[in-house]
Amino acid sequence: MTTITFVRHGNTDFNNERRAQGHMNNPLNETGRMQALAVASRLAEEPWDLFISSDLLRARETAEAISAAVNMTPSFDVRLREIGRGQIEGTVEAERVEKWGKDWRKLDLGEESKQSVRARGMSFVEEVASQYRGKKLLVVSHGLLIGQTLKGLLQDEKTGDGLPNTSVTTIRLADECWEYALYSCIRHLEGS
């Protein structure tokens, strides 16, 4: 059975500040590095056939911690990047309101659409699931990308939101339909 385990990257200062990260290459903070080590230890308990990560720094740093634990080198795929935030990257809500007004969301500021992110994520899953049928894949990516991909694959708009940093979500292909085997699990962070 084909399974894909998605891991959201560890915490960053931008996460804490609620800044739009998008395609920015900001690093993990100390909490994020500890989270990455914790999830790495957890994932080392299982065998993996393939390991793929987003190429953005926060995902790469998370993947590097996992790589050492699972003894695999990840490949990188730009389709796993977070939503492109255009001109709002690096800003918080108050800065956006100050610069563009309270209706800034109605402006074309070069943001990628959620539909585009969903299509990117689903394209990635369809390709690797076809190419690695029956394999166990490990994927490090970003909250919105993972969430939109899950919504599209499982045809369920109620899931995929608010995935915690380093949460683990596993889907499996059963009778040509994707289903959850594990959803947004952070047991590796308990007690930390």
The residues that are catalytic are: 9, 82
3-state secondary structure of 170: strand
- How big is the CA angle at 22 (ends 165 and 34), to the nearest 5 degrees? 25
Going edge to edge, which strands form the sheet with 177-185? Answer: 75-76, 50-53, 136-141, 3-8, 168-174, 177-185
Is position 169 annotated in a ligand binding site? no
Residue 175 phi, psi (nearest 5): 55, 45
Is position 9 annotated in a ligand binding site? yes
In the DSSP assignment, the letter for residue 49 is: S
Is position 12 annotated in a ligand binding site? yes
Give the C-alpha separation, 50 to 66, whole Å: 13
Is position 10 annotated in a ligand binding site? yes
Is position 13 annotated in a ligand binding site? yes
Is position 142 annotated in a ligand binding site? no
What secondary structure, in 3-state letters, does 109-152 show? CCCCCHHHHHHHHHHHHHHHHHHCCCCEEEEEECHHHHHHHHHH
Is position 31 annotated in a ligand binding site? no
Is position 58 annotated in a ligand binding site? yes
Numbered residues of the known binding site for substrate: 8-15, 58
Annotated binding site: 8-15, 58
